[in-house]
Structure 1
Amino acid sequence: MNETVAEQTAQQFFRILDSVYRGTESAPRFTALRGKWNCPVGEAGSKDAFADELVAGSVREDTPLISCIFDALSDRKATTHYPAATADRFLYPSAEGKDERQQRRTDFLDRAETISPDKGISPLLELARQQFYYYPSGYRSLSVYERIHLTCCIVNCIALWEQEQPFSAQKNANCFLLVSGGISGIQDFIYTVSGKGALKTLRSRSFYIDVLMEHLVDELLECLGLPRVQMLYTGGGQGYFLLPNTAEVRVAVDRFYGEINEWLLRNIGVSLSVGYGYVPCTADQLLNSSGEYNSLFAALSACLVQKKYSKYTADQLIQLNKQEPAENERECRVCATSDRLDNEGLCSVCGDFIRISSALMDPTRVIAICRSELPEKPSLKLPASGEKTVYLHALSSNEAAHPAASVIRLYHQNPQEGTDLNAIPLYLGNYFYCEKEQKEMPDFNELAGWSQGISRLGVLRADIDNLGSTFSQRLNGVIQEKGTGCGLRWTDELSRQLTLFFKLNINRILKGELGDKKTPFSLTGTEPELPRKVVVVYSGGDDMFLAGSWNHIIEVAVDLYRCFQAYTGKTLTFSAGIGLFPSKYPIRAMALETETLEENAKNLDGKNGVALFGCQTVTNAEGRSSQQCLSCYHWEELVEQVIESKLRAIQEYFALAQNLASGKGNSFLFNLYQYLTALEQDPSQSINIARFAYLLARLEPSSKDSKDKEIIEQYKAFSQNMYHWMMNPTDRRQLITAMQLYMYLTRTKEAEGSE
């Protein structure tokens, strides 16, 4: 790390923490810690005041709890808060909370006192992230950790910028460089797989993208001699930085991304590439003094688009057009890339992914980036600056500590309090179900076979509704307020909270640990089966792709939605598509079809919906046909009207009638379902009440069962409900979905196998 930057980072770190410990019972211990790091208390200088105005602003909020970032998205004032918890806690905002500040101060010092200054400031920054992530700084929605992070980031930019020209604390000086770099081609890279072991390959590729993104962040910052505080946030394959706007930095950024693209082209091909862009900016723009904050990001997006269409140099394009198949090349059985294959029909890339997949799935292992490949250890190649190659290994802590590992850096998966402070935290949606006696991830066939009723694989794709306008418009209200600091502190914190939900808390929800006394949802109305028989294929900054037993996928979707509503104070929603497939259905087709379902859900008024099962050909009143999803609902409609009302009515009647002498069952219900579906697909048909009454009458208890008054009353209520639902178009559509769910849930494996 640059010496000037290291010194500035340490000074700002201890200056801000001084405000946390001053006047507390731990003040003497903190003073001793400052002395150990040779960071005595000094007078605040012009740079400190400049950074404080940019980061903290002037609006004070002196409470033991920190106000919730999601309140900034609503018209209401800050009414919900978080306690001063550790970073790894799953928190919902609430009106009240316990004061945990003293515990955080003590826990920080207990561990900080064991860290040697020889290790540099990075372990202390990570410890501050763990202990002060929710610790209130005294300013609205600003934690102590976020204040440290952004203040160090800004002061470091100024320190390096003034090496080229004097610093004058002018807010209109272009001393900052807002940079964005990301990975293109993620979906094609992940979902273009097939054949045996496809799920493991999917997960390995998804894992690779997550690590590649973090690795590129650290590689770039190491090239620049800057600490990780210069990274604003990462998510969804994109990273954002605030760097000093110097000629040296601009040249280094251009060179770095050019080298990475060249490496990816040589080693992986055109399926993956990196795109980047940057724009100079002033403090005034970051403070939104003239309403330019959103324009700044619009200019950055335009730069990204421009560079995306010119990501390859002329020489690279010429080389690509000259490529010819080499001798003995065949198509890889997993990714269909032409290459020289191994004995198992795999290209070198897919072979590496399959060999390392089991190690990557082990949450106890650390992810080690090594200078050289370790013998007899599976690895994945990664690009480094200078077009070099480094190697990703999943190692035990002892293996990573061995000198032979030649470790450059370590990443710790979903770290808990007390983990290695020298490892970089890597939050991953990495949950997968496995039977108690197994440790291996199940395959698609096992997941489908564990389903209740029909053996089908469920696939869920979802992402947040209107996220772009949330950042550019809804968050703009608080950014425009005077005294609330720069826009970065608000966009940064919102992005981090969303990342925590989709990359960390999702794992807990799938285990059934919903928090805040929330009860996991059950499709059958009985005690839910936990943990969920689901695998997270990908879960990013605002979206997710899950696969599992079909009934668990629907239950998980409801759990995730309800938790997300509580997590965001109902300020954000997401829409989803849920498809059901045979276990051997092509993965890419699953991804595309569920994406279409997700688009159907987003076409609902106000979005905030879910589309299930698939699309069907529907003819409108004018005789025109189109592909539509008939089972497309807002979330509350699906839960309250389809499941809790109509599905429960069907379940209750058939549970009561299952032992009838007349043996009424699914075949009779299926006849009703076919009739109603035909009506829905062609609204021009008139409702044949007599036919519906005939079909419904076939469910009536026989004379042998007529002595049971409860059965007779239940049938009357059931038939009346069915009649009213059939006559109303909205209820009829809900009833069709409820029937479909019931028939799927009660389908026997024997009946399925006989087809």
Structure 2
Amino acid sequence: MKRRTVLVTFGALLHDIGKIAYRAGEPGTHSSSGYRLLRELFQQQEVLDCVRYHHESALRAAKLAPDALAYAVNLADNISAAADRREEEGEQEGGFDRTLPLESIFNHLNGRNNTLALPPNQTEGVMPEPQEGIHLEQSEYIRLLRELREGLKGIVLEPQYLNSLLALLEGWTSSVPSSTARAERTDISLYDHVKVAAAVGACISEYLEDGGRLDWKRELLDHQREFCKEEAFLLFSADLSGIQSFLYTVTTEQALRSLRSRSFYLELLMEHVIDLLLEGCGLCRTNLLYSGGGHCYLLLPNTENVRQTLESCMNQVRDYLRTEFGTQLYLAAAWAPCSADTLVNRPAQEAPYQALYRRLSLRLAEQKLHRYTAAELRAMNRPEEAPAARECKVCGRSDRVDDEGRCPWCSRFVRMSRPIQEKDVYLVSHRESADALPLPGGLYLSFADEKEAREALRTDPEILRVYTKNRLHTGLSYATRLHVGDYHASNLMEELADQAQGIRRLAVCRADVDNLGATFVSGFEQEGPQRNRYVTLSRTAALSRALSIFFRSYINNILAGDGKVNRALPVSIVYSGGDDVFLVGAWDGLLEGALRIRDAFSRFTGNALSLSAGLTLHTRTYPIRQAALETEELEQEAKSFDGRKDAISLFAARQGFVYHWTDFTSLVLGEKLSCLRTFFDGQSDEEWGRGKAFLYHLLALIRNCEQPINLARFAYLLARMEPGERSLPAHQAAYRDFSKRMYQWYRRPEERQQLITAIYLYVYQTRKQEEIL
């Protein structure tokens, strides 16, 4: 990275650090508080000036040199906030309230106008519960200030510490608002604001330096309006195709291990490509706006060097994927130039920000339609002299196989399954080994714990990069923390099936967020004259981060339970990230898990977003790829249900077992399944054996309700179940209630289908045999 870009990035990341000090009770403005705090730790006056003079009034009065970095940070701050703010915390006490909490980023999404806020005392990995009436006490800021000051002591203003600072700020500033102005919404965290400001500032620095324009006062302050119309930025997007076929190509043998390893590899592959791109463009992870689900967005400077780097890097990655995996995987990429005005959606009536994302999406789709050049197609179709190969017993690929009948990649995936789960530090280096996974660029990914990683960093110059899983590590190069959804009750499908209640069956569940693409493009639009009031780059980034953390981090705790009210579920995550999830587990545990995830997601987003899911039941030997295809079909059925999605589809496609989540929980589980349990669970073993036979007869009649005679048969069977005169009054009352409800439900088509579903679930819960109805 260029020196000026490094320092601008540091200056932008630290420019608002004084807000923590000011809200903790220190006097003066937040700019002066930040300056006092940082001058005790750092000597670089250029960075200190970025903090002290990042507001225009102070910047004009300071009379800095024309090439001072503070001019870039001032403009980057305004772009990140999407407003030319002239007020500053501490200058006008009446306009600010230090106790204002961080509002939920979902408050103004998809037409909502909620007032939910997030608690400041958040437990690592545990989903915060948005609620009303929260206030931030001064004591909370005092604690944050103390911990931030301690963490900053380990930071040096050198490039290798940029990502460490980013991780530190995420840990301590992502739960407090960027602004406490009473006239503004407080749904942007301080972390999201400074991260976007750093991304913008780095782009400005690279763009102006590339053009030899070093009078930043003139460019960015005196002629700011003109600069904001220049297409100084590139919005870059990449999308990995073929994920589904790559994951679900495996057979049943050690399928869960292979699935998880393949999923993990694709996730790390994408993160590695992101870092290759950023490093090649002379930037760091501040410029990553979003990654997850095989997608990413980067904010880059619009320079010739960057455009050439993108072309070169993407060709390198595609060559690697084609060599290693043929046409199975493809990474499409596109970029579009844009101005600062576009990033702040100006003029709002023309909605240029939304148009930018639409334009980029069209370019990405176009490239997917024209993946390969003529030369590449000829090369792929040219017959090659290859050594004798056999078919891999895991993926079916023709290749050299080992003694276990696995190709090199499948052998790696099985072998790497355990260290992927047990190790929480991943090292990227040039050093090849049997225990490493290859990556594009002639690099390899190996696994370590923290002690091993620190020793390797001290002794091995080949290590280029380090990722850490879920935990926040501090120290040189421990910068890039990745949230990973890795909850697992077992690595063996047989063990998961054996933990099921009743029938020993596995379930497969796939779920993802409804209408997410439209949400990113226009979700923050409001009705009325201020339609685009909330359409900002910072909100898009904050929304992306919130969704990513839910599916990559909070989901682990949701499935693990609290050990009290909620049990740890017999479920394993195959994939969770971006906006979707793929789970395997004991059938009843997975159903409970799907309900937990949906309920938590609804609370987390304030019902601004919804999920749709498909869930199938299988024997433990059922081919996982077939299960995945069937579950995908169910998921799509749920997404097309009743015109509004927000549904779950069960068992088999086109059989009518599709319900909105609220109907499923209240009408199928809460009403009909509860009724069956109440009536049958209280019976003796002798009664239960007779009652179960009746239940199967009733189910057969319900299934064939189109025959008029079956209504009479249904009533007759209900009458035969009536307890004798000597039975307890409670049993007689229970029967009357049961038979009345069953008769009513039989006569109504929707409730009849709900009853069939409830009977299925009840039989699965109580049946020991392996047959499915």
* Same topology, TM > 0.5: yes
Matching residue within 629, 634, 643 for 2:669 = 643
Change (3 A) 1:319 1:663: closer
Structure 1: which 4+ aligned runs deviate by more than 6 Å?
A: 417-421
Q: Which residue of 1 aligns with 2:172?
A: 131
Matching residue within 426, 443, 455 for 1:390 = 443
Q: Which residue of 2 aligns with 1:195?
A: 252
Q: Which residue of 1 aligns with 2:360?
A: 300
Q: What is the SS of the residue equivalent to 1:476?
A: coil
CA-atom RMSD, angstroms?
A: 2.6
Q: What is the alpha-carbon distance in structure 2 between the residues aligned to residue 293 and residue 476 of structure 1?
A: 11
Q: What is the alpha-carbon distance in structure 2 between the residues aligned to residue 106 and residue 753 of structure 1?
A: 62
Change (3 A) 1:315 1:33: farther
Q: Which residue of 1 aligns with 2:722?
A: 700
Matching residue within 357, 371, 377 for 2:417 = 357
Residue 125 (structure 1) shift? 2.2
> Structure 1: any 5+ residue segments left out of the alignment?
434-440, 521-529, 616-627
Q: Which residue of 1 aligns with 2:63?
A: none
Q: What is the SS of the residue equivalent to 2:484?
A: coil
Q: What is the alpha-carbon distance in structure 2 between the residues aligned to residue 494 and residue 293 of structure 1?
A: 15
Give, as a single letter, the amino acid of the residue that structure 2 aligns with 1:378.
D
Q: Which residue of 2 aligns with 1:599?
A: 636
Q: Which residue of 1 aligns with 2:151?
A: 111
Matching residue within 61, 64, 88 for 2:100 = 64
Task: Please tell me whether residue 145 in structure 1 is matched to residue 191 in structure 2.
Answer: yes
Change (3 A) 1:687 1:559: farther
Residue 478 (structure 1) shift? 9.1
Q: Which residue of 1 aligns with 2:116?
A: 80
Q: Which residue of 1 aligns with 2:498?
A: 449
Give, as a single letter, the amino acid of the residue that structure 2 aligns with 1:358.
R
Give, as a single letter, the amino acid of the residue that structure 2 aligns with 1:501.
F
Task: Please tell me whether residue 369 in structure 1 is matched to residue 428 in structure 2.
Answer: yes
Q: What is the alpha-carbon distance in structure 2 between the residues aligned to residue 554 and residue 430 of structure 1?
A: 18
Residue 75 (structure 1) shift? 4.2
Q: What is the alpha-carbon distance in structure 2 between the residues aligned to residue 667 and residue 500 of structure 1?
A: 48
Q: Which residue of 1 aligns with 2:72?
A: 47
Residue 718 (structure 1) shift? 1.1
Change (3 A) 1:675 1:416: farther
Residue 395 (structure 1) shift? 1.2
Change (3 A) 1:89 1:632: closer
Change (3 A) 1:652 1:591: same
Q: What is the SS of the residue equivalent to 1:40?
A: helix
Q: What is the SS of the residue equivalent to 1:425?
A: strand
The equivalences for 1:208-607 within 5 A come to 208-289=265-346, 290-324=350-384, 326-362=386-422, 364-374=423-433, 378-384=435-441, 389-400=442-453, 401-402=455-456, 403-404=459-460, 406-416=462-472, 422-433=478-489, 441-477=490-526, 481=530, 487-513=536-562, 520=566, 530-605=567-642, 606-607=644-645
Residue 254 (structure 1) shift? 0.6
Give, as a single letter, the amino acid of the residue that structure 2 aligns with 1:693.
A
Residue 460 (structure 1) shift? 0.7
Contact 1:460 1:577 in 2 (8 A): yes
Change (3 A) 1:172 1:9: same
Change (3 A) 1:480 1:210: farther
Q: Which residue of 2 aligns with 1:738?
A: 758
Give, as a single letter, the amino acid of the residue that structure 2 aligns with 1:300.
L
Residue 655 (structure 1) shift? 1.6
Matching residue within 691, 715, 718 for 1:665 = 691
Give, as a single letter, the amino acid of the residue that structure 2 aligns with 1:752.
E
Q: Which residue of 2 aligns with 1:624?
A: none
Aligned residues: percent identity?
A: 34
* Per-residue CA distance 1:181-237 (angstroms, 9 max, x = gap): 232211111111013211100000000011111111111111122111111111211
Change (3 A) 1:333 1:82: same
Residue 130 (structure 1) shift? 0.9
Task: Please tell me whether residue 161 in structure 1 is matched to residue 207 in structure 2.
Answer: yes
Q: What is the alpha-carbon distance in structure 2 between the residues aligned to residue 575 and residue 754 of structure 1?
A: 25
Change (3 A) 1:662 1:533: closer
Q: What is the alpha-carbon distance in structure 1 between the residues aligned to residue 40 and residue 345 of structure 2?
A: 38
Q: What is the SS of the residue equivalent to 1:16?
A: coil
Change (3 A) 1:114 1:418: closer
Change (3 A) 1:672 1:472: same
Normalised to the residue count of structure 2, the TM-score between the two structures is 0.87
Q: What is the SS of the residue equivalent to 2:78?
A: helix
Q: What is the alpha-carbon distance in structure 1 between the residues aligned to residue 531 and residue 208 of structure 2?
A: 27
Give, as a single letter, the amino acid of the residue that structure 1 aligns with 2:131.
S
The equivalences for 1:607-622 within 5 A come to 607-615=645-653
Residue 600 (structure 1) shift? 1.7
Change (3 A) 1:580 1:513: same
Q: What is the alpha-carbon distance in structure 2 between the residues aligned to residue 505 and residue 219 of structure 1?
A: 28
Change (3 A) 1:544 1:121: closer
> Structure 2: any 5+ residue segments left out of the alignment?
27-32, 54-58, 60-69, 86-94, 214-218
Q: Which residue of 2 aligns with 1:526?
A: none
Change (3 A) 1:549 1:46: same
Give, as a single letter, the amino acid of the residue that structure 2 aligns with 1:414.
N
Change (3 A) 1:343 1:281: same
Residue 19 (structure 1) shift? 4.0
Contact 2:438 2:444 in 1 (8 A): yes
Q: Which residue of 2 aligns with 1:524?
A: none
Task: Please tell me whether residue 5 in structure 1 is matched to residue 38 in structure 2.
Answer: no
Task: Identify the range of structure 1 (545-554 vs 321-330) with the bigger mean alpha-carbon deviation.
Answer: 321-330
Change (3 A) 1:61 1:313: farther
Residue 61 (structure 1) shift? 6.8
Contact 2:510 2:613 in 1 (8 A): yes
Give, as a single letter, the amino acid of the residue that structure 2 aligns with 1:614.
A
Change (3 A) 1:112 1:482: farther
Contact 2:252 2:622 in 1 (8 A): no
Contact 2:704 2:710 in 1 (8 A): no
Residue 13 (structure 1) shift? 2.7
* Per-residue CA distance 1:622-667 (angstroms, 9 max, x = gap): xxxxxx2322111111111111111111111112223456842322
The equivalences for 1:710-721 within 5 A come to 710-721=730-741
Q: What is the alpha-carbon distance in structure 2 between the residues aligned to residue 286 and residue 429 of structure 1?
A: 32
Contact 2:41 2:152 in 1 (8 A): no
Residue 539 (structure 1) shift? 0.9
Q: What is the alpha-carbon distance in structure 1 between the residues aligned to residue 639 and residue 178 of structure 2?
A: 38
Task: Identify the range of structure 1 (479-488 vs 229-238) with the bigger mean alpha-carbon deviation.
Answer: 479-488
Task: Identify the range of structure 1 (38-47 vs 170-179) with the bigger mean alpha-carbon deviation.
Answer: 38-47
* Per-residue CA distance 1:143-200 (angstroms, 9 max, x = gap): 2111211111111111111124443432211101111123221111111101321110
* Per-residue CA distance 1:544-571 (angstroms, 9 max, x = gap): 1101000011111111111111101111
Contact 1:447 1:457 in 2 (8 A): yes
Q: What is the SS of the residue equivalent to 1:499?
A: helix
Residue 106 (structure 1) shift? 1.5
Give, as a single letter, the amino acid of the residue that structure 1 aligns with 2:450.
S
Q: What is the alpha-carbon distance in structure 2 between the residues aligned to residue 564 and residue 687 of structure 1?
A: 46
Q: Which residue of 1 aligns with 2:17?
A: 17
Contact 1:291 1:480 in 2 (8 A): no
Residue 466 (structure 1) shift? 1.4
